[in-house]
């Protein structure tokens, strides 16, 4: 019995040591939330985990998570995209012109803007993939070009307001079709299903590891982690249900997260992106069309940046020339904080979501406490530097 306990302890210790980055980020998120909960309540008497604040947290940071999903694939492939903030501003401006000035319906504007984002990604990806121009240079040029086009398109002025149908992209909520009043029963059911899917996917991945001879994480850790995640989801779901229900943007985030997690972990193309980032020459010699993969990762990034641009414009209820300024920094920081490697080839979708939530919780908590934007930038910069140092330390170790 004692020997089994020791073996189990060693197994848990070895697993924690081997997965220090991903486990550490999840624990860091929990610690940061608890820290702000205590400090905010103690200093200003406000409930940091109130239903309204949790709703605002998702509404304010949805664009970071959406773009971080695409940025992960770009960084895993060994590249970077500095233009996403400008693309957000440009596509938001296009949406404003089409919706407000030209009066086109939302069901036409959304696919048009997504197509424009895909074309922007394709234009940049073409030079990077087939002409071998460094992505840093191409996307830096794109950042300047699309910022200038945004100013030209809007003529330096705000354009708005948007119709209610367009605003619902960001500020709309799923109606309660099951119950009535509060809490929103539909929201609770959706969150419960989501929690069940998370546990099922974890169990499925564990079984797949055992099938291929990969040592799975200790059962104690597997159960504990899934209980914590499921409990956190249900807590957040209850808070949202007791306020205004489930925001539309949260549903979009959930669907995109599941889709990209499945793509990266269960499809041939997804695994090839990781092979490309790990060793491009070896991937090409094995028959992988690396140029096409790089091209497609930038097309995908353009589409997600366009979606984020429309969500930002819908939340602001107008398109502004300064929309998207600095967004690329938060997105890239979220990816690296979430565990992606600077050299490409590694990183997980769930880690990116956790990294984006860490950034969002920090932004939200510091704003509630009245910390100035200057200090906020300093703190976020130090957190990003610590994450990169942690990555380098783990690799050297």
pTM for the model stands at: 0.90
**Domain total in the chain:** 2
Residue 97 DSSP one-character state: I
The reply to whether 122 falls in a domain is yes
The structure tokens 């949805």 sit at 62
Q: Are residues 230 and 157 in the same domain?
A: no
pLDDT computed for residue 2 by the predictor: 44
Average pLDDT over residues 283-294: 94
Q: Is 104 exposed, middle or buried (0-12, 13-18, 19+ CB in 10 A)?
A: middle
Kindly list the distances between the CA atom of residue 358 and the CA atoms of 144, 256, 387, in Å, as whole numbers in the listed order. 29, 19, 12
Look at residue 395 and tell me whether its pLDDT is greater than 70. Answer: no
Average pLDDT over residues 67-79: 95
pLDDT computed for residue 1 by the predictor: 43
- If DSSP states are collapsed to H, E and C, what string results for the chain? CHHHHHHHHHHHHHHHHHCHHHHHHHHHHHHHHHHHHHHHHHHHCCCCCCHHHHHHHHHHHHHHHHHHHHHHHHHHCCCCCCCHHHHHHHHHHHHHHHHHHCCCCHHHHHHHHHHHHHHHHHHHHHHHHHCCCCHHHHHHHHHHHHHHHHHHHHCCCCECCCCHHHHHHHHCECCCCCCCCCCCHHHHHHHHHHHHHHHHHHHHHHHHHHHCCCCCCCHHHHHHHHHHHHHHHHHHHHHHHCCCCCEHHHHHHHHHHHHHHHHHHHCHHHHHHHHHHHCHHHHHHCCCCHHHHHHHHHHHHHHHHHHHHHHHHHHHCCECCCCCCCHHHHHHHHHHHCCCCCCCCCCCHHHHHHHHHHHHHHHHHHHHCCCCHHHHHHHHHHHHHHHHHHHHHHHHC
The reply to whether 11 falls in a domain is no
User: What is the C-alpha separation between 246 and 250, in angstroms, rounded?
Assistant: 7
Last residue of a domain, one of 197, 213, 246: 246
Q: Residue 105: give the domain boundaries.
A: 21-169+269-396
The reply to whether 13 falls in a domain is no
pLDDT computed for residue 207 by the predictor: 80
Q: Are residues 25 and 163 in the same domain?
A: yes
Q: Are residues 150 and 186 in the same domain?
A: no
Shortest CA distance to 98 belongs to which of 112, 119, 84?
112
The reply to whether 3 falls in a domain is no
Contact 125, 325 (CB under 8 A): no
Q: What three-state secondary structure class fits 76? A: helix
The reply to whether 327 falls in a domain is yes
Residue 218 DSSP one-character state: P
Mean pLDDT of the chain: 87
- CATH code of the domain in which 348 resides: 1.10.3470
Last residue of a domain, one of 214, 231, 246: 246
User: What is the C-alpha separation between 202 and 261, in angstroms, rounded?
Assistant: 12
pLDDT tens-digit readout, 296-345 = 999 999 999 999 999 999 999 999 999 999 899 889 989 988 888 878 88
The reply to whether 99 falls in a domain is yes
pLDDT computed for residue 15 by the predictor: 55
Q: Are residues 37 and 110 in the same domain?
A: yes
Q: Are residues 154 and 118 in the same domain?
A: yes
pLDDT computed for residue 6 by the predictor: 43
Contact 310, 92 (CB under 8 A): yes
> How many C-beta atoms lie closer than 10 Å to residue 373's C-beta?
10
Look at residue 78 and tell me whether its pLDDT is greater than 90. Answer: yes
Q: What three-state secondary structure class fits 96? A: helix
Report residue 162: phi and psi, to 5°. Answer: -85, 155
Look at residue 75 and tell me whether its pLDDT is greater than 90. Answer: yes
The reply to whether 7 falls in a domain is no
pLDDT computed for residue 7 by the predictor: 42
The reply to whether 96 falls in a domain is yes
Q: Are residues 154 and 182 in the same domain?
A: no
Last residue of a domain, one of 186, 211, 246: 246
Q: Are residues 153 and 290 in the same domain?
A: yes
pLDDT tens-digit readout, 114-143 = 999 999 999 999 999 999 999 999 999 999
Q: Are residues 61 and 140 in the same domain?
A: yes
Q: Are residues 291 and 320 in the same domain?
A: yes
pLDDT tens-digit readout, 157-208 = 999 899 999 999 888 888 888 876 778 888 888 899 888 888 887 888 788 7
User: What is the C-alpha separation between 292 and 159, in angstroms, rounded?
Assistant: 37
Sign of CA dihedral 27, 30, 32, 35: negative
Q: Are residues 302 and 375 in the same domain?
A: yes
Q: Are residues 240 and 287 in the same domain?
A: no
pLDDT tens-digit readout, 6-53 = 444 445 555 555 556 666 777 888 888 999 999 999 888 888 989 889
Kindly list the distances between the CA atom of residue 388 and the CA atoms of 268, 334, 341, 351, in Å, as whole numbers in the listed order. 29, 11, 8, 14
Q: Are residues 157 and 280 in the same domain?
A: yes
């Amino acid at each position: 019995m004692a020997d089994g306990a020791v073996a189990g302890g060693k197994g848990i210790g070895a697993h924690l040591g081997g997965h220090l980055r991903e486990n550490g980020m999840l624990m860091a998120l929990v610690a940061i939330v608890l820290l702000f909960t205590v400090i905010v309540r103690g200093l200003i008497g406000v409930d940091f985990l109130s239903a309204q604040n949790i709703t605002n947290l998702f509404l304010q940071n949805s664009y970071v998570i959406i773009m971080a999903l695409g940025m992960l694939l770009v960084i895993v492939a060994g590249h970077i995209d500095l233009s996403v903030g400008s693309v957000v501003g440009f596509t938001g401006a296009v949406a404003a012109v089409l919706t407000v000035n030209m009066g086109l319906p939302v069901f036409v504007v959304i696919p048009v803007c997504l197509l424009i984002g895909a074309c922007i990604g394709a234009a940049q990806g073409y030079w990077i993939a087939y002409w071998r121009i460094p992505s840093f240079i191409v996307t830096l040029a794109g950042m300047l070009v699309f910022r200038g086009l945004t100013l030209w398109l809007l003529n330096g002025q705000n354009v708005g307001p948007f119709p209610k149908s367009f605003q619902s992209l960001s500020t709309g909520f799923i109606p309660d079709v099951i119950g009535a009043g509060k809490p929103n029963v539909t929201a609770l059911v959706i969150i419960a299903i989501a929690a069940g899917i998370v546990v099922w996917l974890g169990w499925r991945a564990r079984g797949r590891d055992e099938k291929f001879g990969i040592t799975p994480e200790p059962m104690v850790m597997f159960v504990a982690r899934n209980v914590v995640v499921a409990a956190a989801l249900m807590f957040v779901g209850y808070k949202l249900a007791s306020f205004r229900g489930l925001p539309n943007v949260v549903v979009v985030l959930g669907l995109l997260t599941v889709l990209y997690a499945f793509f990266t972990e269960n499809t041939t193309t997804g695994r090839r992106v990781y092979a490309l980032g790990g060793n491009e020459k070896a991937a090409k010699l094995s028959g992988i069309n690396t140029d096409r993969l790089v091209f497609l990762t930038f097309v995908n990034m353009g589409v997600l940046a366009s979606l984020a641009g429309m969500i930002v414009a819908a939340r602001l209820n107008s398109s502004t020339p300064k929309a998207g300024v600095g967004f690329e920094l938060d997105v890239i920081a979220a990816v690296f904080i979430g565990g992606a490697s600077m050299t490409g080839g590694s990183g997980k979708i769930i880690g990116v979501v956790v990294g984006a939530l860490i950034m969002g919780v920090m932004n939200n908590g510091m704003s509630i406490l009245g910390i100035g934007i200057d200090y906020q930038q300093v703190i976020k910069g130090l957190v990003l530097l610590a994450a990169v140092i942690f990555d380098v330390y783990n690799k050297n170790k």
